[in-house]
Structure 1
């Protein structure tokens, strides 16, 4: 349930979120969701360490490494962004693109981590029948996958745009040197 609740923090907007119009609002919700997801993963890992039967300890070690890596990546994405005020004050689309790219990248790694937490939970609890919420589990697994796929698609579009902008910038720099 904690993994599902963590996902709902960043995947399902609520009326309580007043700053939704800010460029970094979704990224901030994703960071909050990642923190809750990390807590859930830590509880699962601690449980697996105490009750080693039925748990793949290598998978748990990998989950810990992945959690550390995801948190590091998301923190770097957050650190690279300018403030909301700066983004909104610019007449350029560049800062908006940066915020959108960082948000999509954070969503990809966070939902991937959520799916791996669910995968580590599946065998010892869902598959064995200790947790009878298999349908709900599958629904959320599918929701995480859908968000991840959509964000990956956006990142591919951003990648194309960034390549084209880089190419145009190189051409402009070359022309400017010749002038």
Structure 2
């Protein structure tokens, strides 16, 4: 249930967001969702350490590593993002693009980690029948996958824009040096 609740923090369709949201609000919700996912992973890891015969030590260590990597990337995204005031007062689309890019990247990170947790949870609980909510499990697995895939497709568009902007910026810098 913690994994499902964590997704509810940020897997909100863009059209359903309140009008008063600031440019970084969805990123902050995604960070809160990742923190909730980390709490859920901690519960599973704690359980794995208490009952080692029921869990793979390697899988638990891998989940810990993926959680640390997800938190590291999320911190980096938070660091690169300008403030809401800067984004809203800047007479340019650049800061908006940065906020959108960071938010999409954060959703990819959090959703991928959620899928990692669900994969870890599957073996000892869903597959063995200890948890009978297989249909609900599959639905939420699908929701996380769909959110991640949608953000991947958006980030492909961002990647194209960033490459083109970088190329144009380099050309402008060369021209300015020649003046």
What's the TM-score, normalizing by structure 2? 0.94
Within a 5 Å distance, the mapping from 1:16-165 to structure 2 comes to 20-165=20-165
- SS of the equivalent of 1:53 reads helix
Cα distance 1:102–1:178, how it changes in 2: closer, same or farther (>3 A)?
Answer: same
Residue deviations 1:32-81 (CA, integer Å, cap 9, x gap)? 10111100000000001111123111011011111111111101111111
Structure 2, gaps ≥5 residues long = none
C-alpha contact (below 8 Å) 1:111/1:144 kept by paired residues: yes
Structure 1 runs (4+) deviating above 4 angstroms are: 17-20
- Quick one: distance in 2 between partners of 1:74 and 1:99? 13
Structure 1, gaps ≥5 residues long = none
What's the TM-score, normalizing by structure 1? 0.94
Q: Cα RMSD between the aligned structures?
A: 1.3
Name the residue aligned to 2:169: 169
Structure 1, 168-177 or 23-32: larger mean CA deviation: 168-177
- Quick one: distance in 2 between partners of 1:97 and 1:21? 16
Say how many residue pairs are matched.
176
Structure 1, 51-60 or 126-135: larger mean CA deviation: 51-60
- Quick one: distance in 2 between partners of 1:82 and 1:147? 24
- Quick one: distance in 1 between partners of 2:19 and 2:79? 19
Residue deviations 1:15-37 (CA, integer Å, cap 9, x gap)? xx867531101000001101111
